């Protein structure tokens, strides 16, 4: 009698099957300070509501967190990203990607910003 090996497929990210929330209406970008500092609002509002909303957003623009360093002291109990990892899975090394100097510099600058804001930390892995 031979025994057939069984394979078990594991969903590493259970959120992938959940329905994603989407806006009920079309959204349009509203510039608050400049092109980089904007937010999205619905298009179904009346013109007077749009004016009130835009004025309120501009008046309270200092409440927005535009960069991670704008949110010092946010408790990690409130927001922490963790990877869903199947502990029995075989580790696979990702192939090294070669980027041009411009992209490498941009990645380094962004990484340093996140490190200095203590939003990320370097992970040490064993081989």
Mean pLDDT of the chain: 78
**What local confidence, expressed as pLDDT, does residue 30 receive?**
85
**What local confidence, expressed as pLDDT, does residue 15 receive?**
54
Higher pLDDT, 76 or 26: 26
Mean pLDDT of 95-108: 90
Which among 35, 81, 72, 37 is positioned nearest to 58, based on CA atoms? 37
Whether the CB-CB separation of 69 and 117 falls below 8 Å is answered with yes
**Its pTM surpasses 0.75:** no
For the chain, the domains span: 24-64, 65-71+98-121
Whether the CB-CB separation of 55 and 28 falls below 8 Å is answered with no
């Amino acid at each position: 009698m031979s025994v057939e090996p069984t394979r078990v497929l594991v969903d590493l990210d259970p959120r992938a099957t959940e329905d994603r929330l989407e806006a009920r209406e079309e959204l349009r970008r509203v510039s608050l300070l400049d092109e980089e500092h904007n937010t999205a609002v619905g298009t179904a509002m009346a013109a007077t509501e749009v004016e009130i909303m835009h004025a309120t957003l501009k008046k309270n623009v200092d409440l927005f967190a535009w960069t991670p360093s704008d949110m010092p002291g946010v408790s990690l109990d409130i927001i922490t990203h963790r990877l869903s990892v199947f502990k029995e899975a075989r580790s696979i090394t990702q192939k090294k990607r070669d980027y041009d100097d411009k992209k490498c510099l941009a990645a380094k600058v962004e990484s340093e910003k996140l490190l200095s804001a203590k939003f990320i930390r370097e992970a040490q892995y064993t081989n």
